[in-house]
């Protein structure tokens, strides 16, 4: 059985990465979501162990110290990190894994695992992103402005990703995402055994 592929998805807040992932995970593309750990506050509608593993700063710093994280980063004053063992087990089991992590964390994963595939989700425009952040109504104006500023900085890092998708229409963006997951499975370097097997 061949090893699964590690996908990393990043997007500025309000670009719909959660919606895209939720829909993509229901498709027949052998994809498993690996839950991140964070010290940020749980939001309405979030669930421990599904949205994130919610940790105290002390707990999180112990995970760092014990080498239990594939990567970790501090973002807007909170820690975010990827539990290493879970990812490794899913990949070894031949399943594709998707991580949802911030720019710096994504870069760190790519450094440690260059075969990881990085996907960045873009908004159709900054105006539309602003509209969506206001519409979701979970943050005050100051936080929204901070997030828009942050989004600009993040988007300038999209060049260093492998792929970019524009989330204008959700279903179209999900299809685009699925094409990438499928296509990466056809990479020749991931099918060396298949090729050799025909020349036995």
Footprint on this chain of a second copy (rule: CB under 8 A): 120, 122-123, 125-126, 152, 155-156, 158-166, 176, 178-180, 182-184, 186-189, 191-192, 194-195, 198-199
DSSP class of residue 157 equals T
Q: How far apart are CA 138 and CA 107, in angstroms?
A: 28
Q: How far is the CB of 42 from a second copy (least distance, A)?
A: 31
3-state secondary structure of 193: helix
For a second copy, the closer of residues 52 and 163 by Cβ is: 163
Name residues whose C-beta falls within 8 Å of residue 122's C-beta, 6 or more positions apart in sequence: 11, 15, 155, 158, 164, 165, 166, 167
Tokens of 105: 């964390």
| Nearest residue to 34 via CA among 57, 51, 18 | 51
For a second copy, the closer of residues 37 and 119 by Cβ is: 119
Q: How far is the CB of 150 from a second copy (least distance, A)?
A: 13
Q: How far is the CB of 176 from a second copy (least distance, A)?
A: 6
For a second copy, the closer of residues 136 and 149 by Cβ is: 149
For a second copy, the closer of residues 85 and 125 by Cβ is: 125
Q: How far apart are CA 123 and CA 14, in angstroms?
A: 8
**Strands laid side by side in the 37-38 sheet:** 53-54, 37-38, 78-83, 69-75
Q: How far is the CB of 22 from a second copy (least distance, A)?
A: 20
For a second copy, the closer of residues 12 and 105 by Cβ is: 12
For residue 83, the cross-strand partners are: 69
Q: How far is the CB of 33 from a second copy (least distance, A)?
A: 20
């Amino acid at each position: 059985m061949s090893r699964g592929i590690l996908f990393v998805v990043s997007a500025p807040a309000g670009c719909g990465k959660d919606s895209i992932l939720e829909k993509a995970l229901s498709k027949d593309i052998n994809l498993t979501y690996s839950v991140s750990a964070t010290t940020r506050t749980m939001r309405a509608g979030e669930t421990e162990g599904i949205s994130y593993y919610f940790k105290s700063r002390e707990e999180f710093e112990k995970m760092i110290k014990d080498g239990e994280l594939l990567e970790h980063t501090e973002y807007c004053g909170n820690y975010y990190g990827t539990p290493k063992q879970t990812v490794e087990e899913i990949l070894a089991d031949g399943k594709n894994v998707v991580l949802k992590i911030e720019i710096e964390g994504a870069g760190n994963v790519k450094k440690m695992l260059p075969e990881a595939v990085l996907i960045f989700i873009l908004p159709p425009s900054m105006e539309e992103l602003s509209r969506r952040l206001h519409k979701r109504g979970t943050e005050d104006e100051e936080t929204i402005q901070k997030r828009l500023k942050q989004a600009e900085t993040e988007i300038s890092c999209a060049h260093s990703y492998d792929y970019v998708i524009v989330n204008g229409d959700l279903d179209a963006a999900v299809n685009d995402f699925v094409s990438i997951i499928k296509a990466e499975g056809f990479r020749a370097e991931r099918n060396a055994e298949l090729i050799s097997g025909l020349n036995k």
